[in-house]
Amino acid sequence: MNLAAVLPLTDPDHPKPTSQIIRIVLVDDSSLLRDGIANLLAGQSDIAVSGVADNPGSAVEELRKHRPDIVLLGWPASSPASQRVFAAIQDGKLASRVIMLASEDSKDDFVEAVKQGCCGVVSKKTSAELLLKSIRKVHAGEFWLDRATTADVIRRLAKKGGASGGASSRLGVREQGTALSNREREIVILVAQGFKNKEIAERMFISEQTVKNHLHNIFDKLGVSDRLELALYAIHHNLHETA
């Protein structure tokens, strides 16, 4: 997977960390993968592996013990094992940001990863350079998804009619979303469904320039910088839903 897009999207539920050393907990069944990544990270002056785990119980224990900045999670987001990890982060009010280490056959799980609040999706086959870059970007408060993954998430959510996350995570962002006008909300929904500016203009019977003007206002209100970030913001916080 060629990770070509880094999304500088601030998440109010995960404030930007201030520590210089990025503390990692690595979670995966494969000792080969764990050892390989641990050896890679050991050579980085700004990253430290605080703990490793190969089962849900030890993963939760490592999270509680080390309270890491980043969790590299090799299990599918929808698996019971991952659900225990997400629950431990939420219950412990940890600031840990999760990066999903995805297999090629786990595309159906990307939607669940976004719903659960993963801040990045990285292929297990990605290069060492891009894995390191994703860790640093996510630690800095950004989301890391490539454009192909983003498009796939949008398509799958649109087909499923959207999906609800936790009520607590929705509340704060929906309060921000109330600042949007009805027309702006309509544009957010279309952007999140994958429509381009020209297509939005045609569907709404307005000019493409008017769409761009609306998007500029939306970006200012929601704190995003382009339509790709807006789509991810909408998906991550359920602003893409029509109801």
Same domain, yes or no, for 170 and 95? no
Last residue of a domain, one of 111, 130, 156: 156
Residue 117 placed within a domain: yes
Residue 212's domain spans which residues?
Answer: 165-236
CATH number of the domain to which 199 belongs: 1.10.10.10
Residue 107 placed within a domain: yes
Residue 13 is predicted with a pLDDT of 46
Assign 3-class secondary structure to the chain.
CCCCCEECCCCCCCCCCCCCCEEEEEECCCHHHHHHHHHHHHCCCCEEEEEEECCHHHHHHHHHHHCCCEEEECCCCCCHHHHHHHHHHHHCCCCCEEEEEECCCCHHHHHHHHHHCCCEEEECCCCHHHHHHHHHHHHCCCEECCHHHHHHHHHHHHHHCCCCCCHHHHHHHHHHHCCCCHHHHHHHHHHHCCCCHHHHHHHHCCCHHHHHHHHHHHHHHHCCCCHHHHHHHHHHCCCCCCC
Residue 125 is predicted with a pLDDT of 86
Same domain, yes or no, for 185 and 115? no
Same domain, yes or no, for 104 and 224? no
User: Per the structure, how many domains does the chain have?
Assistant: 2
Same domain, yes or no, for 19 and 133? yes
Same domain, yes or no, for 60 and 77? yes
Same domain, yes or no, for 203 and 114? no
Q: pLDDT 10s per residue in the chain (243 long)?
A: 333 334 444 444 444 444 589 999 999 999 999 999 999 999 999 999 999 999 999 999 999 999 999 999 999 998 999 999 999 998 999 999 999 998 877 667 877 787 787 888 888 888 899 999 999 988 987 778 766 666 666 666 556 554 444 333 332 344 455 588 889 989 988 887 767 788 899 999 999 999 999 999 998 888 877 666 777 777 766 665 554
Residue 195 is predicted with a pLDDT of 75
pTM: 0.64
Residue 242 placed within a domain: no
CATH number of the domain to which 89 belongs: 3.40.50.2300
Same domain, yes or no, for 122 and 223? no
Same domain, yes or no, for 132 and 223? no
Residue 219 placed within a domain: yes
Residue 145 is predicted with a pLDDT of 77
Residue 105 is predicted with a pLDDT of 72
Residue 134 placed within a domain: yes
